[in-house]
Amino acid sequence: MTRFFLGVHQPEWLAKAGVPLFVSRRRLARYKRLPRAIADWALDSGGFTEISLHGRWEMSAHDYAAQVQRYHDDVGRLCWAAPQDWMCEPAMLQRTGLTVAQHQRLTIDNFLELSSIAPDLPWIPVLQGWTERDYHEHLEQYARAGLDLTTRQLVGIGTVCRRQSTGMAAAMIRSFTRSGLRLHGFGIKLQGLQHAAGYLASADSMSWSFRARREGVPLIAAHRTKHKHCGNCLEWALAWRARVQATLLEPEKQYYLGL
């Protein structure tokens, strides 16, 4: 893996973390005065929350492109932005009343529209599906739309964060990588990273925050007079990322890192 993005819900960390961050548009949109990034970062469109809440995208492609242009210019160091993609979990299909194929078509249509509206912004295409066959069919849909994803610098693979325990996600990632795709894994947990890190070009994870909240007490002893837990703690997040980096780059250390 060439790059690991720390998923965060505190966009102001862009100005002080100093490591690659993965930030949600929904969080960043709350800021009137934007932070200036001191390291590379990537933008999550917030599609899961959008579709969960509304059953559709309420923001137009033009409005989304305008937001991303502002972040590109004012925050700086934006590596890439996810499109307004459509997740394919059964719960998402139930929410929208559409099929996997329709969600896939909408994802491609939006990528093409954003690329037309703002061709200079670093959009990445995203593969969506539920079964392994779905993902391969989505790749074929891109090809029929004139998009050869093997020529793209990066391709997102969505809806895998909830399938990591099945082994299907890792097998599919290996298959696509061997076919020439450079993949970014969205929301990959540690279990998924351990199986697929060698086949991903990049990944993001917010597992650190979930773990810190679950513990219910500050995971750094000196913080026990500062806050109830470390789920919003930059020091803990950076320490967690450093341990994950060491595990991914030097797997033999996994035993004593406690991951």
CATH code of 13's domain = 3.20.20.60
C-beta contacts of 76-80 below 8 A and 24+ residues apart: 76/36, 76/37, 77/37, 77/38, 77/39, 77/40, 77/41, 78/37, 78/40, 78/41, 78/42, 78/43, 78/122, 79/20, 79/40, 79/41, 79/42, 79/122, 80/42, 80/43, 80/122, 80/123, 80/124, 80/154
Q: How many domains does the chain have?
A: 2
Task: Tell me: pLDDT of 2 over 80.
Answer: no
Give helix 100-117 / helix 61-70 axis angle, nearest 10°.
Answer: 50
Tokens representing 116 are: 């037309």
Tally of CB atoms within 10 A around 168: 15
pLDDT at 164: 59
240 and 199 share one domain: no
Report pTM.
0.90
150 and 253 share one domain: no
72 and 165 share one domain: yes
126 and 186 share one domain: yes
The span from the CA of 106 to the CA of 13, in Å, is 32
pLDDT digits (tens, 9 = 90+) for 177-211: 999 999 999 988 777 777 788 899 999 998 888 87
Closest alpha carbon to 203 in 179, 183, 176? 183
* Average pLDDT score over residue span 205-234: 78
Say which residues have a Cβ less than 8 Å from residue 241's Cβ, sequence separation at least 6: 4, 6, 19, 208
217 and 187 share one domain: no
pLDDT digits (tens, 9 = 90+) for 18-28: 999 999 999 99
Domain end: 205, 220, 251, which one? 205
179 and 212 share one domain: no
- From residue 197, alpha-carbon distances to 114, 149, 212 in Å are 29, 20, 23
182 and 221 share one domain: no
Share of the chain above pLDDT 90, in %: 69
199 and 221 share one domain: no
Structural domain harbouring 226: 206-259
pLDDT digits (tens, 9 = 90+) for 69-85: 999 999 999 999 999 99
154 and 259 share one domain: no
Question: Letter for the amino acid at 221?
Answer: A
159 and 73 share one domain: yes
232 and 245 share one domain: yes
* Average pLDDT score over residue span 163-182: 84
69 and 150 share one domain: yes
* Banded model confidence at residue 257, pLDDT cuts 50, 70, 90: very low
pLDDT digits (tens, 9 = 90+) for 111-150: 999 999 999 999 999 999 999 999 999 999 999 999 999 9
